[in-house]
Amino acid sequence: HGLAEAGADVVSPSDMMDGRVGMLRKALDREGFTNVSIMSYTAKYASAYYGPFRDALASAPKPGAEHRVIPPNKKTYQMDPANYREALREIRADEFEGADIMMVKPGMPYLDVVRMMRDNSTLPVAVYHVSGEYAMLKAAAERGWLNEEEAVLEAMMSFRRAGADLILTYYSIEAAKWMAGDSMKLKL
């Protein structure tokens, strides 16, 4: 509850451990933070699209001490990209445990899962447009292969069309400026 004490409106446990949402909800409520929302990583897939983020943080799995076994990837606890039905089980578990928002990560390769969540829950659905998705659009735009603004706004629209209520993206500042046009100047 340290984040709630610091003023966070939403907490979002990324580890996806079973029971985590319920444990957080109980702890927040016990400490009087009943208005702090929990955004669950309901469907966090083991994906190649996290590469740029992992490289930037040097968080890619790598060898540790001799006695420590480091898996070659994070597939031991992130969802199998081929397993569509697991997301249905996670929706039910997160709703039961007290999640306020459900998230799909990454976004574009899993628009079908976003739609499935929208169709199977009344909770808000968030989608995380991750670093690899951002990097693909940025690189293609830098090479002149596509119009960055048009491609990004089309990607954001596809998330909404699939059923997302919230979009988390590295393009948030640019997308807000593009959508607002010249009538609004955002400051960092």
Q: Is 75 a catalytic residue?
A: no
pTM higher than the cut 0.95:
no
Per-residue pLDDT at 73:
52
Per-residue pLDDT at 186:
43
Q: Which of 62, 74, 105, 187 is catalytic?
A: 105
Q: How many CB atoms lie within 10 A of CB 141?
A: 16
Q: Is the dihedral of CA 179, 185, 187, 188 positive or negative?
A: positive
Distances (CA, A) of 35 to 8, 20, 94, 121: 10, 18, 17, 21
N-term to C-term CA, the chain = 28
Distance of CA 50 to the CA centre of its chain: 11
Q: Which of 44, 74, 75, 138 is catalytic?
A: 44
Per-residue pLDDT of the chain (188 residues; tens, 9 = 90+): 677 787 788 888 776 677 888 999 999 999 999 998 999 888 877 666 755 444 444 454 555 555 555 555 555 556 566 787 877 888 898 899 999 999 988 888 889 999 999 999 999 999 999 888 888 999 999 999 999 999 999 999 999 999 999 999 988 999 999 999 854 444 43
State the Rg of the chain over Cα: 18
CA dihedral 161, 167, 171, 172 (to 10 degrees): 120
Length of the chain: 188
Q: Is 74 a catalytic residue?
A: no
